[in-house]
């Protein structure tokens, strides 16, 4: 079972990807994790990626796909995998399709976690984290006992730069411009499944497992 997770930043696709991986005993394959593993292990691909990243440039699609194919060729991906964070654009999706077809493989499901922008903005801008122990909170959904103070260690909570309102709006704009067209692409491919991501996480997961039966 080869699955791609789609959805805007903050839609919860990473959380659901991990749940799917656990439920179906298949790896959760994140491009960020692949980059870090290749660079940590000093692989040829990892060293090339590091050169681009150190120069503040985007890693070319060709290099990203090479690392991805290397990862999904490993033994633990024999039963399938959940891709999280890739593809992000139509050219990446087309390159992935071409590379998989050479192996007589194809994506089985593209699961889109649908959440309106205003809900995502509330979710992300309300997040607070502890710089000391890493605990996370939300002003509305999971507040700390004392406002602005970590329950676990007593340190002052902060709002990450990624969760600032202007940053969230910019990330959503990039998503709509570059990544949302993937929804139409995978619908044409006949593998798109849309899930209401405004539900409780456990209900979102139940809806996903229903689709995957």
The model's pLDDT over 99-131, given as tens digits with 9 standing for 90+, comes to: 899 989 999 999 999 999 999 999 999 999 999
Domain residues of the chain, as ranges? Answer: 2-26+79-116+172-212
CA distances, 131 to each of 35, 143, 154 (Å): 24, 16, 11
pLDDT digits (tens, 9 = 90+) for 159-183: 998 899 999 999 999 899 988 999 9
CB 58 within 8 A of CB 92: no
What does the pLDDT read at residue 109? 98
DSSP SS3 for 176: helix
Mean pLDDT of 3-9: 95
Residues 92, 15: contact at Cβ < 8 Å?
A: no
pTM for this structure? 0.85
Mean pLDDT, range 54-81, rounded to an integer: 89
Could you tell me which CATH class the domain 2-26+79-116+172-212 is placed in? alpha beta
pLDDT value at residue 61: 87
- Which pLDDT tens digit goes with each residue over 59-68? 888 899 899 9
Cα–Cα nearest to 180, from 17, 11, 1: 11
Residue 16 has pLDDT above 90, yes or no: yes
Catalytic residues: 13, 88, 127, 160, 171
pLDDT at position 105, please? 93
What pLDDT is recorded for position 149? Answer: 97
Q: Which residues fall within 8 angstroms of residue 92, CB to CB, at 6 or more apart?
A: 61, 64, 65, 86
Of 31-35, 83-87, 187-191, 208-212, which gets the smallest average pLDDT?
A: 31-35
H-assigned helices in 76-125? 90-101, 117-125
């Amino acid at each position: 079972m080869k699955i791609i997770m789609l959805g805007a930043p903050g839609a919860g696709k990473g959380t659901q990807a991990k749940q799917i991986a656990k439920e179906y005993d298949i790896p959760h394959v994140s491009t960020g994790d692949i980059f870090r593993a290749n660079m940590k292990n000093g692989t040829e691909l990892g060293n090339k990626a590091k050169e681009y990243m150190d120069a503040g440039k985007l890693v070319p699609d060709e290099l990203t796909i090479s690392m991805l194919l290397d990862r999904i060729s490993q033994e633990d991906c024999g039963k399938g995998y959940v891709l999280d964070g890739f593809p992000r654009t139509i050219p990446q999706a087309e390159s992935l399709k071409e590379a998989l077809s050479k192996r007589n493989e194809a994506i089985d499901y593209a699961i889109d976690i649908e959440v309106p922008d205003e809900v995502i903005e509330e979710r992300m801008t309300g997040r607070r984290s502890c710089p000391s122990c890493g605990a996370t909170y939300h002003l509305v959904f999971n507040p700390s006992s004392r406002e602005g103070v970590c329950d676990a260690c007593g340190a002052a909570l902060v709002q990450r730069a990624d969760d600032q309102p202007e940053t969230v709006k910019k990330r959503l704009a990039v998503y709509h411009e570059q990544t949302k067209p993937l929804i139409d692409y995978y619908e044409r491919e006949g593998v798109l499944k849309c899930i209401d991501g405004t539900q409780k996480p456990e209900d979102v997961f139940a809806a996903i497992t229903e689709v995957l039966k």
